[in-house]
């Protein structure tokens, strides 16, 4: 089979998927969803809808969602283990990380449901990152650093994948809705670390959080415009104003030490 045939075949598969989205999501479900979304929050069944449309797998969707699932597995297990350990995090930490754990475990469920049989299994993790954070579950300060690393990486990871999901509006919307929650988490954890909720330049803001996570975050050129010259706010505020994406490869390189 030559390349053109493969491309044609993919096109046919895609058209099929579009039809199913159109049918399942728009007609039967999305209408009702939007009504409920007036309250801002869509029902739990959303994952099941994605499952219907994509269970058999569009390569891009499966790839992006499994990538996301890997990160959510990582985060969920990280918080589950911390909350189940003897780590002393105090009242504020308990309240914060119970809420974050609730969300990360829910994200795992949403993504697993969406992927159905195409979902990857949970990898084994090493939260010390091969010894870089040996006391991650016994020293709250270390735990907070790793948490910030995961949350800020998560924000950049989803952001980087969003354009790939454009042909699949329901999946895109779900991904965006996870993305914004990762940003809520990131800002709160940064606050607990004594840092600003946002990223200035490419500075982690918290000593000990890997610098690679913030590579390129000092960009001020947006859509060809130098935003450091807009509104008289200056370079630092301009870098803060825009969170930069990370490629899948960069994210996996950051996550690699945490895979056992």
Partner 1 sequence: MEKLPHDPTDTQLTGVGRRNFMRYLGTSAAAGVILSACHTELVDPTQQGSGRLGDTIDLGDIGYNDTTVLNFAYALEQLESAFYTQVMMTPYANMNGYERAVLTEMRDHEINHRELYRTLLGSAAIPNLTPNFSSVNFNNRTSVLLTARTFEAIGTSAYNGSGRLLKNPDNLALAGKIVSMEARHVAILSELLGPMTAYFAGNDIVSKDTGLGEARTPEEVLALARPYIQETINGKNARMA
The neighbouring-strand residues paired with 125 are: 259
CA distance 161 to 158: 5
Site for partner 1 in 183-242 (CB under 8 A): 183-188, 191, 196-198, 222-223, 225, 227, 230-234, 237-238, 240-242
Contact (CB, 8 A) for 202 and 218: yes
Residue 249 within binding range of partner 1, rule CB under 8 A: no
Contacts 24+ apart (CB under 8 A), 211-219: 212/250, 212/253, 212/254, 213/149, 213/152, 213/153, 213/156, 213/254, 214/152, 215/246, 215/250, 216/244, 216/246, 217/156, 217/243, 217/244, 219/244
Judged by CB under 8 A, which of 13, 177, 208, 248 binds partner 1?
177
Nearer to partner 1, 162 or 215 (CB): 162
Binding mask of the shown chain, residues 117 to 156, with x at each position contacting partner 1 by CB under 8 A: --------------------------------------x-
CA distance 245 to 162: 9
**CA-based angle 67:190:163, to the nearest 5?**
30
Q: How far is the CB of 94 from partner 1 (least distance, A)?
A: 10
Name the one range near partner 1 by CB under 8 A: 61-69, 106-114, 117-125, 140-148: 106-114
Q: How far is the CB of 229 from partner 1 (least distance, A)?
A: 9
Binding site for partner 1 (CB under 8 A): 34, 37-38, 40-44, 46-47, 91-92, 95-96, 98-100, 102-107, 109-110, 155, 158-159, 162-163, 166, 169-170, 172-174, 176-188, 191, 196-198, 222-223, 225, 227, 230-234, 237-238, 240-245
């Amino acid at each position: 089979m030559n390349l053109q045939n493969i491309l044609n075949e993919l096109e046919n598969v895609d058209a099929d998927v579009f039809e199913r989205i159109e049918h399942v999501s728009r007609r039967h479900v999305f209408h009702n969803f939007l009504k409920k979304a007036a309250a801002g929050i869509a029902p739990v069944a959303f994952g099941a809808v994605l499952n219907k449309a994509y269970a058999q797998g569009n390569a891009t969707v499966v790839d992006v969602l499994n990538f996301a699932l890997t990160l959510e597995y990582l985060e969920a297990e990280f918080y589950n283990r911390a909350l189940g350990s003897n780590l002393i995090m105090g009242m504020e930490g308990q309240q914060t990380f119970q809420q974050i754990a609730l969300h990360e475990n829910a994200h795992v469920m949403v993504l697993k449901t969406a992927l159905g049989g195409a979902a990857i299994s949970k990898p084994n993790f090493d939260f010390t990152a091969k010894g870089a954070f040996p006391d991650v579950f016994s020293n709250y300060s270390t735990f907070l650093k790793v948490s910030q690393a995961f949350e800020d990486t998560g924000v950049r990871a989803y952001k980087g994948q969003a354009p790939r999901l454009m042909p699949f509006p329901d999946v895109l919307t779900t991904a965006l809705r996870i993305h914004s929650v990762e940003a809520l988490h990131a800002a709160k954890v940064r606050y607990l670390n004594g840092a600003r909720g946002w990223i200035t330049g490419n500075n982690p803001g918290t000593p000990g959080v890997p610098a690679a996570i913030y590579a390129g975050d000092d960009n001020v050129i947006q859509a060809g415009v130098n935003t450091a010259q807009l509104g008289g706010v200056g370079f630092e505020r301009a870098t803060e104003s825009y969170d930069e994406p990370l490629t899948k490869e960069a994210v996996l390189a950051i996550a690699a030490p945490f895979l056992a």
